[in-house]
Structure formats: structure tokens, C-alpha cells
Structure 1
Amino acid sequence: MRALRRMRLCAESLAVTLLVLAGVALVGVTPAQAATHKVTVSLYRVVELSCNEGDGEACGNDYYPKFNIDNQGLFDGRDDFCCAHGKDFTTNWTHSATVDESHNRIAIHLELWDQDDLTQDDVIHWVKGRDYLDLEFDLFTCVFTGSGLTTQQGANLPTLAGESEGTGDDSARAYFTISTPHCKDVLNETDTDGDGIMNGWETPTGGLDVNGDTLIDLPLGKAPYNALPYRKDLFVEADYMQGFEPQDGALDDVVKAFAAAPVDPDPDSPGGFRGVTLHAMKGEEVPLVHDILFKTDGGNTQDDFNDLKGRHQVPGECPGFFGTVDDRRSANCANILNAKRQVFRYMIFGDTFKEDTHSSGSSEFDPAGPSGGNDFIVTMGALSPTTINRAGGRRNAEAATFMHELGHTLSLGHGGGDTVNCKPNYLSVMNYTLQFADMDSSRPLDYSSAVRGTALTTMPLKEAGLDENKGVYGTPANPSRNIVYGLKGKAKVWPANDGRVDWNGERGDKETNVAADINVIDSIKRCDTASAGETLNGFDDWANLQYNPRLDVGFFADGVRRSVPDELTEQTILAMTQRADLQVTKSADQAEAAGGDTVSYTVAVTDLGPGTATAVSVTDTLPDGTTRQRSLPDLTNGAVHTVAPKFTYQVPCDTADGTVLTNRVTVAGKDTDGVPDPYTRDNAAQATTTVRAPVLTAGMTATAAVNAGEAIAYTVTYANTGGGAASDVTVTGTLPAGVYYSQALDQGAGPKPDSVTLNADGTRTLVWKVGALPAASGDKKIVFTARPTLLATAGTAYTGKVSVAYRNAGGACGFAPVTASAATSVTEVAPSRTPLLSTVWALRNDLRTAEVLARVQATDTRFDGADGSTPDGALSQQEASAVLTLPVTQPRTLQAELLATAFNLATRRINAGTAVDTITIRRLGLSTTGDAVRYAQATLAQPPGLGNLVRYTDTTLALTEINSGVAERY
């Protein structure tokens, strides 16, 4: 009965104590009793810090209390409570007194003693700087104050629970409560420490009563929970699948990180902060489910997270694995588990989950809030032993992933208050670059904090204009930290406390306005997409945690999860920790080349480390698209391998001028664990060579119209418009049959052709051997004249042609000639109708002008050299006179008449088209002067023997009739 009474008194006092410690005055609260109140004080836990009993006296830890409430007299608890033992023990030491509210504030005096057998009892130092604890308790506000309290409680805290700690020999830490019936109601409406757990739930005599039957369903203030209303508590039940039990120490590492959190200043605590008590309570083994559903709900089939947690409850039954075995076996299991759901987050260390079988974990997190939930999963089965080793070993990988996924349920995104990942000014385990200690081996297991200088929120990094002189943090991180940022896609680790950061890797670290995409890291999926120009904000994680798992009602209700974040996968973790970074460079031995040249390429591969590169292969893609592959030996850190023999490419002759030949090379390789190089920006290189080829053009103009026999002026233009010189340039002009050319008669500005050839078909070929022609030569000209035959009638058209053949500078390549043409039309003047006989032309050399002689030469070249001189392409007076000398035999007679006829044509006395008609001419079948001339030319082509006597005679007569003016018919 005495024990039950003490428990009841303890329960009453619990509420009062917690309220006092909160420091929130409840103004205007009216006490339940106007005149008297029952105040109960409970000293419920003692932790021994130091024991020194003196000579001959053993440290028996035999403690007892003394109470004095409202100065009603010191109650010595030696007889009732002596003695409790142990280094850390709970007690049922309570004392109550009825007090008059007119005495408010009520004095509370507490002592702690050690019972000794050989000497007098010793007082235990459980109050800093004092032997006893003296308090004042306000009956109306449920607040207590006093000297000797540990400052982690603060002052005026309505928690009704307190803590005091001494120093030196025979010292201890003790926990106590003060309560009244009125103050117990305040407890369940107040959350002093802001952890989402009401003060009344965390007191030793209180707890959660979810169904209102006055029975405590979850006594959080007692072992094994030991929650405190004045220190933030977080509860996580961590179950594990068969084969995936967390490593010893993994959860403890996270617990220590939370305990050291810079939360709630307290100069009496190590580090100056109260920290957060994370109750990461390892639960029990659950069935192994490969590819378990996490985001979705597969129904009551035991294939999803909700099934294992125990969502599908049957009335009176408590399936699943949430809670302990004893919880689920209890007749009150539904209320117990419901109570636990109010404060516990639930997670499973598992194999893989179906929605992302390669992911290291997942959690409930909605970036729109951002808000977190109460469930998460860590899936080490998705990671190979190599990956886990790269992540720091299984213990470190489990701890980091646990804290990362827990962080999401606490409302933290990958950027803290946002989802922008890989920010260099966000030093948190939530950041992919710092989740594992792989990129920064010295990174602590921690969230970001303004107190520690790792949460810069007032000076964001603006990627469009970064100041390299200011670094990241205005206040250095404490302790010193590193940042991880993307330098042209590669992860760069740099001291956070350094005042300078070379953000762009160019021109040193003193630029004041540079643009750089500093949160893009190619090896990290979801950080590998360009995002230039962002504003990157820091975030204070520890100051913004969502402790209460009930806030997001959607996540709080088990079922389909509306949102889960993408997480690190095995591929990304391996890429992040890849130890061989290959770089390839390429150069060409010719910046410019001509067709037929062979370009050689130098390819060098460097291992930037830090480890050895294996399976190194180079693929070279030549300008024509064909590929060549080479395998290289393993490369150690810093090693450079130049590929031999060199890759070569012969430039095709038909490659157009100005073509840029691009030779591309890529390198691939792995580190010694077989992980491919993820930094591919420098895994490709190229070299270019510009082809310089001659490009020739040709043009030709001619006098549009001339009279028969008169000079046609031809202008040939050609140029090299290409970037390469030409060689063996040859200009070839072709004059049609009926157009005569000789250098002697050429009136053009030249140059004269190097050769002139009369072809069998009557055409003439003129050749100019130009030779070399430089690039961009400008127009070159050839101007010459040629004459159409006097036998051409009006309207006859003559087309001259030109072609330019050439090779490139080295002569290796020849090109198709370029061509041009120009046409001339023959016009006709009215004849004077005064032909002269041959005898007259023999006497009238004055009529035989140079122009007339040239016209005759263009019509018939047989007279050139008639005087015995060497033919030179021009008809001279001497040669004409020699022909016109009175002949005595054929063919001289016919030649004289033919020359006379040509002179008559040349002087426009008759035209080639002039009609002629005599008996002889008719018999010969001729109708024009031109017919008669051509007939005479054909006759002269035959020997003047007896067999051709008649033909010679008739032909001579016909021309004589024309030259005498008898035959013409105008």
C-alpha cells in the first residue's frame, strides 16, 4: 500500500515539475483549488558522477533524500527510502505536502545524502556550487525557479521536471519532478522543448493515454525510453530484415551526432548545447523481402513496407512488426501501438525496394512543404561489397544513410530547405557530396548549423557573379570544414575556411565577378545536369527540423506515399568514389593540309588519379568516320601514355577547299575495382586541320559580231579563288573550224600561247602553260584575236571555248578542268560589186593592205610562204605577188585566180554569199562565190595531172568569171 501511495504521489508531482522547467509562464491560469494545493516532489533518478567515501569506507552508492516543502520541516528519507544503489538508478522517492496558496511562491528544499557505516553520512554534491537545491514553485503558473539547477533547463520552464548536477568528489546528477493536480493538466498541453512530444508524455509518472481510460499506454518518461520534457527527444524504431541487421555502432554513431547537435544553448553541457536525444531503438528481425514495395501499397500481401509495419490490422489483433513483441502480444496492443505511432518513426534496414532497386534508401518527404513523414528505409542490399567499402564500410554506410533518410522525415531536402543538390555552401549529410565520407574523408556525420558556421543563409552564392575573394562563409566553420563543389564538372574539395575559392579554374582565385556552374558534378546523378545561373542558398538544418511525426497527416497515415526523394544508387556511389580519372589530348602535325597530304595525330592519355587506371582503350575516329582502336597498358596516378604508332589520315584529293577535317578521339577506362571513369568531359578530344585546295575559275568573252575575216577579240580570264596554291595550270583555248589564229596576226595584249595546233577537224588548239598559281591569285587575263574565214556568210556563229586544267601545290592531286565559252556572230556588208581580175591585183599592191592580207590568210593559208620563205602565219606582199605572177601552168593559174577571188572577198567587192551563175559554174553545180572558192580549194587538193586537167580548167574559168564580174547575180 505504501508503494502504491508513493507511485500515485509521484504521478501527481510529475506534471508540476515539467511545467516549471519550460520557462513559459502560463499567465491567467486559475488554480483548481482556491485555498490549498497538494504539492508532490519526486526525486526519481540518480546518476553517480564521482564517489570518494574516504579511508576504510567503500563506495556503496547507498543514497537517500531529504525534502522540505513550504518550510513545513525537513523530511528525512533515510528511514523510508534508504538506500538506493547503482551507478545509474531510478527511485520512488516522493514527498507531498498540502500548502496554502497564500504562501505562493512555495519554497522547495531538496537534499541528497550518502549513508555510511563507519563515518557520519555525507552530503552528495548534486547541485553546482552548493550542497542543497532550493527552489521556488509557482502554484498558478506551474513554473519553478531556483539556484543550482543545470542551465540546460533554462529558467521558468513549465516542464515540472528538473535536473541538477554537481562536481567534484561524491557528486551526482539527479532528476526530479514537482506536481499538483492542476499542473498535470498543463503538462499535456505544453511542449516545452519543441520536440513534438507533450511534457506530460515525458514525465516519469506520466505518459500517453491514447484512449482516455486513465491508463498509461506509453510511459515515455521511464526506462527504456527516459524522455525528458526539457531536452528534445526523437524516437525511431529500427527493424531489420534477415541478413541486414545494422552493424554494431552504426546507430550509436547517429545517436552521438544528434547528442552533439548545436540545439538549445546550455553552457553546462559539453559543447555548450543541450543537443537532441535520439532514441534509435534497434528492434527485431523481419522477414527478408527482396524488392519490397515502399512508395506504393501492394495490399495485405506482405510484399510492402506497410505490411511489415502492420498497417492492415484486424480488430483485437496487432500484426506486423511495429512495436515490440510484448507490445503486440498485450491485450492493450492497439492502444500501445497507437501511442507509439504518435512519437515513433519507423524504419527497416532491408535488401532492396521495388520502386528503385539500385537505391540506397528512401523516405517520406515532400519538397513542396517541405515536410517530412514518419517512415523510411535503408536498403544496403542495393549496394555491392565494393560500393559499401567505397562508402566507408558497412557501419559508416548504414549510419550515413540512416541519418540521411531520417533527415528527410525531419523535413530536410537535399539542399536543406530546398531540393537543389550538391551546393558547396550546404555542409550537411543531406547533401549528396557529404552523405558519405568519400569525397571529403574528413566530413563529420552532421547536419548543417548556423552556430557551427556551416549554414550560410544570408549570403547565398550567385552562380552568375561569384566573388572568388570571399570564398563561401563569412564566419569560418567551427571546427574547420571542407566544401565540395563542381569545377567544370569535376568534384573539387576545398577548405571552407579559406577566404578564396577559384570557382572557374581560370586566371587564379582573385576574380570578382565570374560565372560558374558550381553545383554540377558529372559523377553524381541528379547533380550532372547544367544549371548555370542558380542562386544557391545555405540552410540551418538543426534549427529547422520537423520533430513532430504527426504534422503531415498524409504521411502519418500509412498507405501510398505521395512523394519520396530519389537517392544515391550503387552506380552513383561508385562513380563518386571512382579512383582513376582519365584525360585525353590530341594534336595534328598540320594545321593546314592539301589533298594527298598525310596528317599525323598525336594522342596522349593521362591518369589524373588518384588510383591506377585499367582497361584503358582509345578510339580514334578519322575525318571520314572510320575508327581505329588501341588498347593501352595500365596507367598509374600521373602517368602519361602517348599512343604509338600515331594515327594518320590521307587527305582525299576531292576534299573541298576550306573543309575542316576533324579527328576525334575518346578514351575509356576503369579503376582497379572496375568502375568506369565518370568524368567524361576530358575523355574526348579532337584536332582539326583545314584543307587548302586550289579552286580555279575560268571565263571567256568574244567580240559579239564581226564581218567575215575581221579580227575577233577574245578575253580569257582565270583565277585561283581557293586557299591552296595550284600547280601545272594549263589554259587551253579551242577555236572552231573556220576561225583562224596565228601569233603573227594576233592583235591581243597576250600573252601569246605556248603552242597552237591545227586539228584534223579544222579546229585549233591554243595552249598557255601558266604553271603555278598562288592562292587567292586574283583574275589573270589572256587577250588574243582570231579571224573567221571570208567564206562565212551572214549569221554564221562561231563559239570559242577555253578550259583550265590544274593540280594542287604538291602536284599530288589533279582536278577536273574548269571551262568557259564565248560566241561570235558573222555579219555582212553590202558588196561594192566591183571585183578585180587577178592581173589587176598583181599590179595593185596598194589595195593589198595588211588588214586585207590578214583576212585572206584567215581564209586560206596556202599562200603563206609562196615566195619560198618560211610560212609564219601571215600573208605578206611578197608572198601575194609571188602567187599573182603570171603563171604558165597549173596549179599556179588556179592559185592566182583563187587569191584574186579572196582579195575581192576581203575588200567587200563580193561576198561569199553572192550568187553566181554561168554555163561553167552551173555545170560545176555551184551557186555562190563561197561555193566556187571551196570548189577551187578542193581542186587544188588534187594533183594537176592529166586526169584532173578538165577540173582545173573549169575551176579556173569559174573563178575568172567571178573575178571579172561576169558570173555575179545581185
Structure 2
Amino acid sequence: MGTLRALVTALLLVAGVTLAGVAPAHAETHTVTVNLYRVVELSCDEGDGESCTNDYYPKFNIDNQGLFDGSDDYCCAHGKDFTTNWTRSATVDESHNQIDIHLELWDQDDLSGDDVIHWVKDRDYLDLKFDLFTCVFTGSGLTTQQGANLPTLAGQSEAGGADSARAYFSISTPHCKDVLEQTDSDGDGLMNGWETPTGGLDVDHDGTVDLALGQAPYDALPYRKDLFVEADHMRGFAPQTGALDDVVKAFAAAPVDPDPAAPGGFRGITLHAMPGEEVPAVHDVLFDSDGPGPQDDFNDLKHGNPQVRQPGACSGFFGTPADRSSANCVNILDAKRQAFRYMIFGDTYQEDPKSSGRAEWDATSPGGGPIGGNDFIVTLGGFSDTGIAKAGGRRDAEAATFMHELGHNLSLGHGGGDAVNCKPNYPSVMNHALQFSSRDSSRPLDYTSAFRGTAFGTPLDEAHLNENRGVYGTPANPSRNIVYGVAGKLRVAPATDGRIDWNGVNGDKEGDIPADINHIDSVGACKDASAGERLGGFDDWANIQYDPRLSTKFFTDGARPGLPDELDEKTVLAMTQQADLKVVKSADQAEAAGGDTVSYTVEVSDLGPGPASGVSLADTLPDGTRQERQVPDLAAGAVHTVAPKITYQVPCDTADGTVLTNRVTVTGHDAAGVPDPYVGDNTAQATTTVRAPVLTAATTATATVNAGEAVTYTLTYANTGGGAAANVTVTDTLPAGVYYSQALDTGAGPKPDAVTLNADGTRTLVWKPGQVPAASGEQKIVFTARPTLLATAGTTYQNKVSVSYRNAGGACDFAPVTGTATTTVTALPPSRTPLLATAWALRPDLRTAEVLARVQATDTRFDGADGSAPDGALSQREASAALTLPVTQPRTLRAELLATALNLGTRRINAGTAVDTLTLRRLRLDTVGDAVRYAQATLAEPPAVGNVVRYADSTLTLTEINSGVAERY
């Protein structure tokens, strides 16, 4: 019946139903045991002549069965804080449930009567009501926790007065012990039955307690949260005195379980950080996985390799030597695994030898399930003395790292509920920016809490930040600073100040600005930009995962993949670095031309707060060459201008619009030799845009003309570049057989500045426009020239234009730009009516200006025949003078040659007209053009005796052509 009632009671408790006041159908009896197991003396007043030895004894009254005086049986325990084994039992009838329990504590005096000790405020005695069915006791003078009607079956009194003490006791019945095994009143993951002085863990259910957490040395309480950590250490790495105590105090002051009667208003957490034993020193021990050796990983040290589980000989270092040598060691260690987390203060671990520690934490836990663990390691062996000092000293560094890694086991990430690091609104020791007191010496060793105002509810939206308010709406308790980043540089500011300059520009009054406030270059985990995040605060203390058994992933002590990376010495040194270098660079020319020399001004400054040493800069010129300069040591706030200045000459072949970038990087360290981590302003650049002339050239020509007719040439050029062109020269080369003279040029101009007849028969026309502004419009030159009448149908002439130029400064000559155009000669059918020279002399009317121009383009020897200066055009007077009846050579041949040219120019014959006479056959001349060229060659010779026959033959052939007897159509 008793077992069934216990089961029903447990189920009702789970369902939230109380059995108080419900009478059973048949009354049963129960054995109620009261155990007064600890007394803490608060104050004593023994009276005159007697020292405060305080020899204590109890008095009990259970179910009003009479006051039992323990002065004979239990006297006399004494001390400031002592454990007892004062137990009293009574058999009670459940028909008059609830059961009255009365407790007294007395001090035995030698010189006067014994004094009653005040156990509760303003009262001497403790009177309780104990419910046999719910296993709940109530009564005035109890702590708030017991006043909440929780089935803890254990409690403590709240004392007051001059002669006072606090008592710790438990109340139990056989069936209530079953209830205790199913109830965790304080929510610490430990069942009430494990934490009572008369209970404990019986992992194999053989009736023997394997781990008595409610007894010394553990002294767990079922109404106050308890956490257990076994802290072993490698040889040479025992924690500093006080390091664990600092963490214990931080947990004791935790703002959990509000209790107005408790110091600080909260019951806090009892962290049993129990110093263990020395384990072998393993440099670079494996933590994330098992190694091949017998003692090279964390699991080897914890459980042994091979693991031995035999009575009296359990392996590893988990538990105490006495635990492992006990005949019951298997059950003892299994029981400890239910309650204890295990850690080692070690040297370094292999996965990250420079890291401060490592802990089990599962960021990938499905469905947001348990993410904590039960193992961690603190490894400061990779830190130098300087690094330890920068972390606040070895004691502080060990305490902070212990609490940080334990926080991961308790489910906390680097952002509380997530892995987002360096959040300004997360001032927890879990935040890498605040794990050590490196940059905020006043930061407490603490997690965040809504009770303390540090669990900010509204996320900080990096896309819309308001600088007119602090991080917390109400002041944090205690007041706190925040650590955040401005353009990657670490900043510290009061958390509740009315204004925070999030972006470092325009003061601290902007109402809606973007800023990447958790980007801090000196913190390894926060050195990458992460703009636009919503950064949420978190209540660490309210979200701790107390139960180490919840995470099945880690409770098995196997591999530990995907653990978070931790702080290393490099980051600690970087966060405390004292010399912040900055470099700026400027160029003396925003725009430059080829051949110019650009000078750069470089200024190096130390933003402090300490001096900078070993400062050097590397300057990379636009062509990739590198110059290095040493800079003197700089005091905080000092500025050094590099001299002599760095210069760069712009190459002439640099394309227009090219941006020449000169980059400079400065490096250095502070007095401790720590490099500057804030490299965002350690580089600078100056740019200069090259403005160069870019000329284009093109030419067009009349596509087809008859021989001797004017061809119109259009030359175009333009400067499409950003720089002015100087010494611009336009050169047009007319092919041999094409005649140009300014007198015959009917184009729109301008006229060339120079015309040169070259030895190969080509003509060079030159224009010198000089300066051509940048981005100028298209410029035109239009002129005419004429192909010779001797050109036969299908003859092609290619005209070439070339534009040469320099830049405005004259330092650079550029390759000329060119263009070509082609003209093809066509032919009209001849009229077949050639005239003799004498006829042409009599018919000036037939010698039109156009015909004379065609003749001039074919042969210039007649220009100036009247004794005038040649001017590039054939006039009537000049033609008449050449046709005057000649009497001697070479005048006769010249007259015939002019007549032939006039016949060609008036299309009476063509250059390609076939001719045949005995003389022409003998001279092997087949066309009119052949005969004309032979005559021109003859006239190049003097009419001396040796050339008489040649002159006669040339004159005869032309006379035969002009008379029409030689042509063969």
C-alpha cells in the first residue's frame, strides 16, 4: 500500500496536483525522520565570564508526541560551522495529516542556564507543517525556496538575534524518498534525493548509496542550485590560489532564484569547483578526437587507455584516487558522471596550440535542443608571460577561461544563445571581447542577466542604429561598459550613457545610421566584416543547461567535432596593443601628362595610446616597383612626414585615362613588440589620372575620275584624348602620277604649309596646326589634286595621310596615326580627232582652263614658258609661247609634246590608244602614252649631236599621233 501511494503521489506531483488535506480511506502509519545535519553559528552571546564555545544540542517534537531533549544524547557539538548527525524518528498516523514538527537548538552553558538559540527572526523555535502525501513542509522562518511548497524535504532556517545560528535539516518518510528520486525542485539537474544528507545516488539500485551529494565534502542542497566540476591539472599547471574561488564567488552571486532574505536578493548557485589531482603533462593533447597513443588525448586522461572498470582498480583520473581504488569504483564513477563535469588545467591542445581553452558546445543541435556538454580544458601553456600579464595575470586569466569554457558546457555560445561574437549588447565573459579584462578592467567576472539589466531585449540593428541612446534602457547593475568596433577598431564606452558614437563620424547624435559594430580587427573571431546583422542580447543566467546528462552527443565522451574556436595569445596581445599606426598619402598632381614627375607626400602618425617602434613603410609605385623607408619611433600623437618625397615619372606610353595608383603600407609595433592589429588605416593610396592626347586620322578621296580631272581629298583628324596635343603635323603623301599645286587646288582648305616633290615622284603636303585641345571636335582639310593624263583606265592611286604629335608638355612624342584612300582612273571613249601643234597654236578657244589644268597635271615643263615664274598652273600665254612655231630643237619637240597633251586633255585620244608606224614600231612604242613618255625622256637629254636622231624620232612619232596617222582604234 505504501509503494502504491508513493507512485500515485509522484504522478500527482508531476501533474501539479497536491494531496494536502485529502484523507485516505484507511489510515496508515508512517515513520517520519528528522535529520539536523548542519549548524552554522551566526553570532553568540554567552554572558559574563564565559567564552563563546557554544556547545550545541537539539530538541525535537514530532507529531506533538512530546519534546525530546537531546542534551544527554547529542551534546555537545560546537564550532562556527559544523556537521552533525542528530536524527529523531517518530511513527505517525496519516489520519491527522499534516504533521506538526517542532525544532529547537540550545547552547549548553557552564556558568549559567542553557540558552535557546534563535533559529528564525524574532523567534526561538522552528515550527513546521509536514504533508505526508505531497512531502512538502511549510512554516514561518523558512527561506523563500521552502515557502514555495516544493517537495525538497530539506531546508534551512533564517536566523536573527544576538545569539543565533542557521540550521540545515531534512524530513523524510520511506515513500517520500521515492518522490525525491523523481523531483528536482531547484532545477539544477540533480534530483532532490541525491542532495539530501540521508539520500544520494544509487546507480545500480542495490540499496547502497554510491554518491552522497548531500553530505560532506559536497554538501549539495535540494533547494539551491548546485553545479559540480572536477578540476584536475597537468603537472606544472595547477591553477593559481584563488582562481577557482573567484569563479565560485561569481556563481554564488548569480542572479537566479530571487530570495529577498538572501544576500543580494538571490539564492545564487553553489559551484563545487573541486580541485582534483595532478595528471601527466601532455603537450598538445588532443581534445576533439582520440589519438593513437595511450595517453595523448583528453579521453585517455579522463578514463584511461585502455579503460579499466574493475572493482578496486578503475582507470583514468576522473574521480578521486579513493573513488577509483574502491571496490565500488564502477558505480561511484558512474554516479559522479551523472552530476560532475570534468576539466583539466593543461598545457596546450593539438587542435589549436595557441588557444586558451576548449569546451564541448554544439551549435548544430537539432531543433534547438541541449547544446551544452560535460568536458572542457583550460590551456594557457601557449601564452608567454607578456600574454598572461595582458590577460590580467595568471589568476584572472585562469578564472576567466575556466568560467568561459564552463559556460559552453552550460550551453552558452559566444553570443549567448548564438555564436555571434563581440556583440556590444552582450557584456558576458562568454564574449571574446570581455573574456579577459584586457580592455575593460572594471568588467566583472559574470554572465549576463535580465535581473542585472545586461540581457538587452531589443536587438541592435546594424542597418539602423540610433546614437542618441545607450545600449540598455535602464542602468546595468553594476554599471557596465560596452566593447564595440568603429571601422574595425576596438572602442570602450559606458553602456547606459545617453549617446554612443557608433560610426566614428559626425559626432554621436545621428538617429539612423548603419555601422558594423561587432567588427573588431584585433579580435580574431571578429576581424571579418559582418555588416547588417541584428545583434541580440541574451540572458545567460536564465538559460543555463545545468544537467550534464542532457547532451547525448557529448555525454558519451567520444569525438567532439565542430567545437568553437577560442581566444589565443595573439588576440589578447592585439586587443591590448598600445600603438595604432596610421598612414596618409597625397599626390601633388591630380592629373598628369606623360613625362611629368608626380611627387607624393606620406605622413605616418601614431594614434596611441602608447609609443610606436620598428616603424617602416613600403611604397609601391604605379609600375609595381617598391621602395622601403624606415620611420623613427613615434610618440603617441606624433606625425612624421617622409623625406625625401617619393616620386614617379609618368611613362610616355601610358594610355589616356589611366589611373596611376601609388600605394603605401606602414607596419610597426608597440613597446611590447605587439604588431598593430588595426590595419584598416595602415595602408593608403594616392591616385593621379593620366591625360594624354589621342589623335585619330582618316582620309577620303573621290573614288573614280577620268585622267587629269581633279580628285577631292578630305583629311580628318581629331583629339579624343584627355590631354592637349602639341606640335601636331598633318602629312599627306600623294602618289607619283598625281599632281598638286596650290594654284590648281580648289578644295575648301586650308592650304598646306609646305609642298615637296620627292625624288620618287611622290609629293608631300604638310600642314602644321600646332596645338589641338583635348577632346576637340573633328578637324578637316579639303584639297584637290589631279592624276596625269597618261594614266590609263583602271589605274589606282593610294593616298596616305599621317598625323604626328607630342603631348602638351612636349616631353613625349607619339607614334603617328595614319589613314589611306584610293582613287581609280576611268576613261572616256576618244573623239579620234587629234589636232596638230599649229592648229592648237591657232585655237586658244579650245584651250580651256580645265584642259590646261589637265595638261599641267601631266607635264609641268610648260609652266613659265612665256618667261614668267612658274606658279603651278598653265596659262594661255604660257601655252601660246610653247606652241610658237619652233625652228630648232628642243622647241619643236616641246611644241609637239604640248599638242599631244592638249589632244589627251580634250579626250581626242587616250593614253591607252594604240599607235603603229614604222618609226613607232622601230622604237617599240605601242600606245600614245608610250610615245609621250619617250618624248619626255628625250627632252631630259640635251639636243646635242649625239641625240639628233632621238630628237628626230620623238618629234616624228608625236607629229604622226597629232596628225592622226599613227592611231589604231
With the shorter chain as reference, the TM-score category is over 0.9
The CA deviation string for residues 181-237 of structure 1, in whole angstroms up to 9 with x for no partner, is 332332222211111112222222222233334333322222221111111111111
Is the alpha carbon distance of 1:495 and 1:611 closer, same or farther for their aligned partners in structure 2, counting shifts above 3 Å?
same
C-alpha distance in 1 between matches for 2:689 and 2:424? 43
Equivalent pair of 2:139/2:147 in contact (CA under 8 Å): no
Match of 1:15 in 2: none
TM-fit CA distance, 1:558:
3.0
| Greater mean alpha carbon deviation, residues 57-66 or residues 785-794 | 57-66
C-alpha distance in 1 between matches for 2:915 and 2:302? 126
The CA deviation string for residues 505-541 of structure 1, in whole angstroms up to 9 with x for no partner, is 4444454554443333333333333434433332221
Match of 2:535 in 1: 536
Equivalent pair of 2:23/2:95 in contact (CA under 8 Å): no
TM-fit CA distance, 1:873:
1.1
Aligned AA (1:161): A
Match of 1:338 in 2: 334
TM-fit CA distance, 1:783:
0.7
Match of 1:13 in 2: none
The CA deviation string for residues 349-371 of structure 1, in whole angstroms up to 9 with x for no partner, is 11112233222211222221342
TM-fit CA distance, 1:568:
2.0
Aligned AA (2:271): L
TM-fit CA distance, 1:966:
3.2
C-alpha distance in 2 between matches for 1:516 and 1:874? 82
Aligned AA (2:958): L
TM-fit CA distance, 1:398:
0.6
Aligned AA (2:595): G
The CA deviation string for residues 579-600 of structure 1, in whole angstroms up to 9 with x for no partner, is 3332222222222111111112
Match of 1:223 in 2: 216
Kindly indicate whether residue 435 of structure 2 is the aligned counterpart of residue 435 of structure 1.
yes
TM-fit CA distance, 1:741:
0.8
Match of 1:958 in 2: 957
Match of 1:203 in 2: 196
The CA deviation string for residues 767-818 of structure 1, in whole angstroms up to 9 with x for no partner, is 1011010111111111111111122222222121111111111111111111
C-alpha distance in 1 between matches for 2:309 and 2:791? 120
Equivalent pair of 2:712/2:784 in contact (CA under 8 Å): yes
| Greater mean alpha carbon deviation, residues 907-916 or residues 524-533 | 524-533
Q: How does 1:319-338 map to 2 (within 5 A)?
A: 319-338=315-334
Helix, strand or coil: the match of 2:902?
helix
Match of 1:315 in 2: 310
Match of 2:385 in 1: 385
Helix, strand or coil: the match of 1:823?
strand
C-alpha distance in 2 between matches for 1:330 and 1:963? 145
TM-fit CA distance, 1:564:
3.1
Helix, strand or coil: the match of 2:434?
helix
C-alpha distance in 1 between matches for 2:796 and 2:319? 111
| Greater mean alpha carbon deviation, residues 271-280 or residues 888-897 | 888-897
Helix, strand or coil: the match of 2:622?
coil
Q: How does 1:13-412 map to 2 (within 5 A)?
A: 26-27=18-19, 34-298=27-291, 301-311=294-304, 312-316=307-311, 317-367=313-363, 368=365, 369-412=369-412
Helix, strand or coil: the match of 2:647?
strand
TM-fit CA distance, 1:713:
1.0
Is the alpha carbon distance of 1:937 and 1:584 closer, same or farther for their aligned partners in structure 2, counting shifts above 3 Å?
same
Q: List runs of 5+ in structure 2 lacking aligned partners.
A: 1-9
Is the alpha carbon distance of 1:186 and 1:915 closer, same or farther for their aligned partners in structure 2, counting shifts above 3 Å?
closer
Aligned AA (2:88): H
The CA deviation string for residues 560-588 of structure 1, in whole angstroms up to 9 with x for no partner, is 33553322223333333333332222222
Equivalent pair of 1:246/1:349 in contact (CA under 8 Å): yes
| Greater mean alpha carbon deviation, residues 380-389 or residues 693-702 | 380-389
Aligned AA (1:382): G
Match of 2:682 in 1: 683
Aligned AA (1:672): A
Percent of pairs with identical residues: 77
Aligned AA (1:282): P
Equivalent pair of 1:129/1:148 in contact (CA under 8 Å): no
Match of 1:774 in 2: 773
| Greater mean alpha carbon deviation, residues 909-918 or residues 724-733 | 909-918
TM-fit CA distance, 1:543:
1.1
Q: How does 1:636-675 map to 2 (within 5 A)?
A: 636-675=635-674
TM-fit CA distance, 1:166:
2.3
The CA deviation string for residues 739-789 of structure 1, in whole angstroms up to 9 with x for no partner, is 111111111111110111111111111110110101111111111111111
Is the alpha carbon distance of 1:342 and 1:833 closer, same or farther for their aligned partners in structure 2, counting shifts above 3 Å?
closer
What is the CA RMSD across the aligned residues, in angstroms?
2.6
Match of 1:730 in 2: 729
Match of 1:720 in 2: 719
TM-fit CA distance, 1:936:
1.9
Aligned AA (1:694): P
Match of 2:455 in 1: 455
C-alpha distance in 1 between matches for 2:908 and 2:15? 137
**TM-score normalized with structure 2 length:** 0.93
Aligned AA (1:143): V
Helix, strand or coil: the match of 2:583?
strand
C-alpha distance in 2 between matches for 1:942 and 1:562? 107
Equivalent pair of 1:294/1:353 in contact (CA under 8 Å): yes
Is the alpha carbon distance of 1:285 and 1:430 closer, same or farther for their aligned partners in structure 2, counting shifts above 3 Å?
same
Aligned AA (1:378): V
TM-fit CA distance, 1:56:
3.0
Aligned AA (2:81): D
Aligned AA (1:832): S
Q: How does 1:415-430 map to 2 (within 5 A)?
A: 415-430=415-430
C-alpha distance in 2 between matches for 1:139 and 1:833? 150
Aligned AA (1:816): A
Q: List runs of 5+ in structure 1 lacking aligned partners.
A: 1-17
TM-fit CA distance, 1:659:
1.5
**TM-score normalized with structure 1 length:** 0.93
Aligned AA (1:66): K
The CA deviation string for residues 232-283 of structure 1, in whole angstroms up to 9 with x for no partner, is 1111111111100000110001000000000100111111100000011111
Q: How does 1:831-846 map to 2 (within 5 A)?
A: 831-846=830-845
Match of 2:869 in 1: 870
C-alpha distance in 2 between matches for 1:708 and 1:352? 99
C-alpha distance in 2 between matches for 1:399 and 1:421? 20
Aligned AA (2:644): P
Is the alpha carbon distance of 1:299 and 1:809 closer, same or farther for their aligned partners in structure 2, counting shifts above 3 Å?
closer
Kindly indicate whether residue 555 of structure 2 is the aligned counterpart of residue 551 of structure 1.
no
TM-fit CA distance, 1:172:
2.0
TM-fit CA distance, 1:177:
2.3
TM-fit CA distance, 1:140:
2.3
Is the alpha carbon distance of 1:896 and 1:244 closer, same or farther for their aligned partners in structure 2, counting shifts above 3 Å?
same
C-alpha distance in 2 between matches for 1:42 and 1:265? 27
| Greater mean alpha carbon deviation, residues 119-128 or residues 699-708 | 119-128
C-alpha distance in 2 between matches for 1:953 and 1:35? 168
C-alpha distance in 1 between matches for 2:292 and 2:807? 79
Equivalent pair of 1:912/1:928 in contact (CA under 8 Å): yes
C-alpha distance in 2 between matches for 1:760 and 1:300? 96
C-alpha distance in 1 between matches for 2:292 and 2:627? 56
Helix, strand or coil: the match of 2:896?
helix
Match of 1:799 in 2: 798
TM-fit CA distance, 1:666:
1.9
* RCO comparison, higher one (Cα < 8 Å, 6+): 1
Equivalent pair of 1:291/1:351 in contact (CA under 8 Å): yes
C-alpha distance in 2 between matches for 1:85 and 1:297? 51
Aligned AA (2:412): L
C-alpha distance in 2 between matches for 1:615 and 1:86? 64
Helix, strand or coil: the match of 1:614?
strand
C-alpha distance in 1 between matches for 2:92 and 2:791? 148
Equivalent pair of 1:237/1:280 in contact (CA under 8 Å): yes
Match of 1:630 in 2: 629
The CA deviation string for residues 100-126 of structure 1, in whole angstroms up to 9 with x for no partner, is 434332222223333333344333223
